[in-house]
Homo-oligomer: A and B are copies of this chain.
Amino acid sequence: MNINDAAREAKKASIRLAATPAAERNRALEEIARALKDRSGEIVRANKSDLERSRHEKLADPLIKRLRFDEQKIAEAVKGLQSLADLPDPVGRTLEARELDEGLTLYKVSCPIGVIGVIFESRPDALVQISGLCLKSGNAVLLKGGSEARETNRVLARIIDGAARQTGVCDGWMHLLETRSHVEDLLGLDQWVDLIIPRGSNEFVRYIMDHSRIPVLGHADGICHCYVDAEADPQMALGIVVDAKTQYVAVCNAAETLLVHEKIAPAILPQLKEALADRGVVLFGCEKTRALIDAEPAGDAQWQTEYLDLKMSVKVVADANEAVDHINTWGSGHTDAIVTANRETARRFLDEVDSGNVFWNCSTRFSDGYRYGLGAEVGISTNKIHARGPVGLEGLMIYKYKLIGGGNVVEDYDKGRRRFTHRDLDEDCPL
């Protein structure tokens, strides 16, 4: 199917899916989970063929690693779908209700956004997860996977679409796009596609963000900071910095830059260096840092680098203000933490650091939908509108205003024959 036809069909399906009862969408999720489990052999075979071809084509190791979709990963995906089915329905929630006048009532009601475009590299689990999230939230989805995973994606899409159809969910709510030109095509479909979610490397996500007129939910960089204040408890600072840097280095919420107050730096930097060196971390420091400990030199290039590796930039700062300025200048608005015993310093840091996640006395690694208890994670966003930080199903939702009257006309209010009451109500939309 031509991509324009697929998008048009998805748009039509999104209207019907939005009006589909929750029980039906949940039944489809359960059926998809069952079908994936039943047909795991078929999926694994397709995945082996993708892996073989990719190895032959000398695909980079991290991509091959993420391409693997074995029985264990299938089981995790199935479990994810089942817990999605158990979550409360995000569609049709009355967010506000207001009597505008007797017999004229306004309801602000949650509804799906419409058509979501998903572009992902490798990771066939992203296909399962995102189509599940979209179905749960009543959105149609256009999926564009990487060619390295084409056999796996094709089997997965066939199973998911088929299982959903069996339960009576409307056709056309999901489409797999297969050719390379489809990425550019998809980014230009702003008439039909309401939101793009990219899943892949930083360069990949940045490319999408730079080439789309459709809103993009996600983040390119994760340049996260730990600031150790003059009034930090040294033991706490050590624990948090080591965790933030080393607990898992390849992820967006790992810390990349350490900022240390100049008063505490002489005492704590040698300890920090030792603890980090124990975990194999190489440090890059400013001049003041290098006067206190051994480190490679650091400058603007380091402040804007996301290492995703056992490397860390270190800067000594005059005070919390300089730390905040540094973060707002060089950070990526993702996650930044302060370690201090001073409540007022913490309050100002949390207020003034312009990031989606601002932490006091805990590790940046907590910045995650699962750890936040969101139930399901759509992604982590560094956007400043709509959804920010770890995003649950609410990132796939918007609202509409439903106004219910009995023949009311504006003329009556403009002429003063009637007056608005504007009384907030505690009730759900009756329709």
Residues in chain A within 8 A of chain B (CB atoms): 11, 14-16, 18-19, 98, 100, 104, 106, 111, 113-114, 194-195, 210, 213, 215, 217, 233, 235-236, 239-240, 242-243, 247-248, 324, 328, 343, 346-348, 350-352, 354-363, 365-367, 371-373, 384-390, 398-411, 413-414, 420, 422, 431
Contact = CB atoms under 8 A, between A and B. Distances in A.
B100 A373 contact: yes
Nearest to A429: B350
Contact of A356 (B243, B384, B401, B408): B401
A409 B362 CA distance: 6
Which 7 A-B residue pairs are closest in the complex by CB-CB distance?
A362-B405, A373-B422, A243-B409, A365-B410, A236-B407, A386-B386, A362-B408
Contacts of A343: 431
Contacts of A384: 113-114, 194-195, 398
A345 to B, nearest CB: 11
Q: At the interface, is chain A mostly helix, strand, loop or mixed? A: mixed
B359 A411 contact: no
* Number of copies of this chain that the complex holds: 2
Contacts of A350: 400, 402, 431
A400 B335 CA distance: 10
Given A98-B373, A360-B404, 4 more contacts: A14-B354, A18-B352, A100-B373, A351-B431
Given A100-B371, A347-B431, A372-B401, A411 B360 contact: no
A411 B243 contact: yes
A400 B422 CA distance: 30
Contact of A104 (B19, B233, B346, B362): B362
Contacts of A243: 409-411
Contacts of A385: 113, 194-195, 215, 217, 385-387, 398
Contacts of A431: 343, 346-347, 350-351, 360
Contacts of A215: 215, 385
A413 to B, nearest CB: 7
Given A194-B384, A385-B113, A351 B19 contact: yes
B114 A354 contact: yes
Contacts of A357: 400-401, 403
A356 to B, nearest CB: 6
A197 to B, nearest CB: 12
A372 B106 contact: yes
Contacts of A414: 247
A12 to B, nearest CB: 8
